[in-house]
Amino acid sequence: MKQMKLFLGPQHPGMHGNASVHLYVDGDIIKKSFLLPGMLHRGFEKGMERHSWINNISLIPRVCVVEPDINEMAFAMGVEKLLGLEVPERAHWIRMIILELARLSIHLMAYGGLGGPTGNYTLMYHAHADRNSILDIFEQITGHRVYHQYIVAGGVRKDLPKGIEKDIHAFLDSLEARYEEYRDLGIENPSIVARITDTIMLPEAVVWELGVTGIGMRSAVGKAYDIRKVMPYARYDQVEFEVPTSTYSDARSRIDIKLKELVQSIGIIRQCLAKMPEGPVRVPMGRGQSMRWTVPKGYVYSPVESSRGEFGYYIVSNGGTNPWRVGVRGASYPQGLLGVEKYLPGTRLDDAALWIDTMGVCSPEIDR
Amino acid sequence: MMNSMSNVEFLKELMNRNFKVIETDVIDKYQVSFVLKQADILQALVTLRNAGWIQMSYLSAIDWPDESKIEMIYIFMNWERPVHVQIRSKIDRKDPVMPSIINIYPGAKYYERECHEFFGVKFPGNPDYEKQLILEMWDDIPPLRKDFDPQAYSDRKFTKREYKEDYLVLSDQNSKKEKREVRKERAESLKGGQKV
């Protein structure tokens, strides 16, 4: 039969962000596919070289739109490693609260995104409504809803507002109460289960070939390969949490892990709020005028566990007031580009959007 | 996984035994970097892969126009012995050629394509490193090289538009134009300039 070319995205309910997947299909089966990135390229790596260390705070969160905080954390950690800067104790705990709230928010968004390709829009509305409550909390803490610019080298921008603990606890309780409902709406829902079970498989050998990290890797390998566990940053070594895994990676098990991580994140935030000490939250990065702050020479890679896998900044300084080179390792680079090219052919047309959703392909961080 | 410092020691010993390491830098107990000669790179990656560093985390380049070099950077990760290894090597800037590593780490395919696009490094061995990936119809020098000037490119490429400087000013009395200019001048005077 004759092959036909179809585009998945940029505008498509199952395609997040501004990239498109080109598919050559024969009937229902994908014969050839590749991702076309570049529609959201904003030249951030070049832009960061042209701004001072402190100016870059406003560029960094925009690298990944839906989860900006990991960018701030990775950049701040890298600069602190170069400077040899010790962050105040309280700042570590506040950072963890922010990072885990961000993880909750993007997991809810990705889980809601499952509604697009499977046609279950109720799920999407519920999940986005709950994400909105997280954005409200962010607004109280940082003053911004989406791009917070809150975690900076040397700590966090300012202390938590008074009484925010009450709001966070109230939100966590309500989310926990709705957890079973979420399961029923999504992965326990009979109309979806048949659709997501045994589709878009990811065998263990493929994981290492692609270099996939995060939920994709853990769902196939079955080991707790999480940067928070194996090389803890901030104070992740002082909180108790589990890393959910599986050894059979289909769309359903990946979503299942995502939901189990929600519970773990809720636990981490509660522990942080209980253990958090009082004290200062920020030390200045340098002395004198902030535009003149310099960072010693060096090469450093600072990885952070994002919701999609290992997310890292590669920072090179030549001792000047600007970074010499900032490279971004997008967590969804392997599954978004090579994964789409190599492992979509052979699957069905309607499963392509499921790969994009359950592997968490985020086009802003591929383009940068 | 328990004794992290010994992982770094293990790597140091492994690299020094097999290769002539130009420079070693231990960043912390989870990260170490080695500078090697270009000829040693492929062999070093095979050694690392056999030792368990099976995940490729990052591949990119750094431009050093003063030395007329481009520095290649590879980062690998082993989850059983959690250490990120940086392998770096400086190659010629005039005609940068680096053999492709996709036979050792297949995941490098798109990283190499991107590196070619942004730095102009050639990767013989990678079947389509020359295809465009992110930049559509690019017709200038690779943009992440230091001598690429975004301002000049933008002036050449796009029509110039006139912006009113004082678009915020409602009346002369409330004008903060002077203040803004003083501030701008001061910021300009502080900009750039390498401080040692």
Per-residue pLDDT tens for A53-68? 888 888 888 888 788 8
What does A91-158 look like in DSSP terms, one character per residue? HHHHHHHHHHHHHHHHHHHHHHHTHHHHT-HHHHHHHHHHHHHHHHHHHHHHS-SS----EETTEESS
Residues from chain B that touch A291, judged by Cβ atoms under 8 A, are 187, 190-191
The whole-number pLDDT of residue B85 equals 92
Inter-chain CB proximity A81 and B1 less than 8 Å: no
Residues from chain A that touch B187, judged by Cβ atoms under 8 A, are 291
Note which residues in 31-90 of chain B have CB less than 8 A from chain A. 31, 33, 54-58, 60, 62-63, 73, 75, 77, 79, 82, 84, 86, 88
Inter-chain CB proximity B27 and A300 less than 8 Å: yes
What does B1-12 look like in DSSP terms, one character per residue? ---HHHHHHHHH
The whole-number pLDDT of residue A97 equals 92
The whole-number pLDDT of residue B167 equals 60
Q: Is residue A202 very low, low, confident or very high in pLDDT (cuts 50, 70, 90)?
A: confident
- Closest CB from B33, B84, B193 relative to A303: B84
pLDDT beneath 50, residues of chain B: 1, 195-196
Structural domains present in chain B: 7-137 (3.30.460.80)
Inter-chain CB proximity B109 and A52 less than 8 Å: no
How far is B80 from A225, CA to CA, in rounded Å? 9
Closest listed residue to residue B125, CA positions, set B102, B96, B105: B102
- Chain A nearest C-alpha distance from B172 (Å): 31
Amino acid at B102: I
H/E stretch holding B27 reads strand B23-28
Q: Which residues pair with A33 in a beta bridge?
A: A23
Residue A93 reports pLDDT greater than 90: yes
Residues from chain A that touch B195, judged by Cβ atoms under 8 A, are 292, 294, 319-321
pLDDT, chain A, mean: 87
From A203-212, A244-253, A282-291, B165-174, the region with the lowest mean pLDDT = B165-174
The whole-number pLDDT of residue B128 equals 85
How far is A128 from B79, CA to CA, in rounded Å? 34
Q: Is residue A173 very low, low, confident or very high in pLDDT (cuts 50, 70, 90)?
A: very high
Residues from chain A that touch B84, judged by Cβ atoms under 8 A, are 301, 303
Q: What is the ipTM of this complex?
A: 0.86
Inter-chain CB proximity B136 and A213 less than 8 Å: no
Reading phi first (left if > 0) and then psi (alpha if -120 to 50, else beta), residue A222 is in left
Reading phi first (left if > 0) and then psi (alpha if -120 to 50, else beta), residue B112 is in alpha
How far is A210 from A206, CA to CA, in rounded Å? 6
- Chain A nearest C-alpha distance from B190 (Å): 7
The whole-number pLDDT of residue A1 equals 66
- Closest CB from A321, A324, A334 relative to B195: A321
Inter-chain CB proximity A333 and B82 less than 8 Å: no
Beta-sheet strands, E only, within chain A: 4-8, 20-26, 29-36, 151-152, 155-156, 298-305, 310-317, 325-329
Nearest CA in chain A to B191: A291
Q: What is the pLDDT of residues A297-340, one digit of tens each?
A: 899 999 999 888 889 999 999 888 889 999 998 888 888 888 88
Q: What is the dihedral of CA A37, A39, A40, A41, to 10 degrees?
A: 80
Identify the residue among B59, B77, B141 best suited for mutation to test binding to A, counting A beta carbons within 10 A and taking the highest. Answer: B77
How far is A36 from B132, CA to CA, in rounded Å? 10
Closest listed residue to residue B72, CA positions, set B129, B119, B133: B119
- Closest CB from A81, A208, A301 relative to B55: A208
- Chain B nearest C-alpha distance from A316 (Å): 8
> How many other C-beta atoms are found inside a 10 Å radius of the C-beta of residue A273?
16
Q: Is B136's Cβ below 8 Å from some Cβ in A?
A: yes
Inter-chain CB proximity B133 and A210 less than 8 Å: no
Q: Is residue A17 very low, low, confident or very high in pLDDT (cuts 50, 70, 90)?
A: low
Q: Is B25's Cβ below 8 Å from some Cβ in A?
A: yes
Cβ-Cβ contacts under 8 Å for A80 (sequence gap 6 or more): A87, A153, A154
From A84-88, A288-292, B149-153, the region with the lowest mean pLDDT = A288-292
Tokens 């570590």 sit on residue: A92
Segment A175-183 shows an average pLDDT of 89
The whole-number pLDDT of residue B196 equals 45
Q: How big is the A-B interface in CB pairs under 8 Å? A: 110
How far is A326 from A320, CA to CA, in rounded Å? 14
Q: How far is CA A157 from CA A58, A136, A325, B106, in A?
A: 13, 18, 24, 41
How is residue B59 annotated by DSSP? E
Sign of torsion over alpha carbons A293, A284, A229, A343:
negative
How far is A194 from B158, CA to CA, in rounded Å? 52
How is residue A53 annotated by DSSP? T
The whole-number pLDDT of residue A200 equals 83
Q: How far is CA A1 from CA A23, A25, A209, B173, in A?
A: 15, 10, 32, 75
% of chain A surpassing 70 pLDDT: 98
The whole-number pLDDT of residue B169 equals 58
How many residues can be counted in chain A? 368
Residue A251 reports pLDDT greater than 60: yes
> How many other C-beta atoms are found inside a 10 Å radius of the C-beta of residue B97?
11
Residue A131 reports pLDDT greater than 50: yes
Beta-sheet strands, E only, within B29-156: 31-35, 55-64, 69-78, 83-92
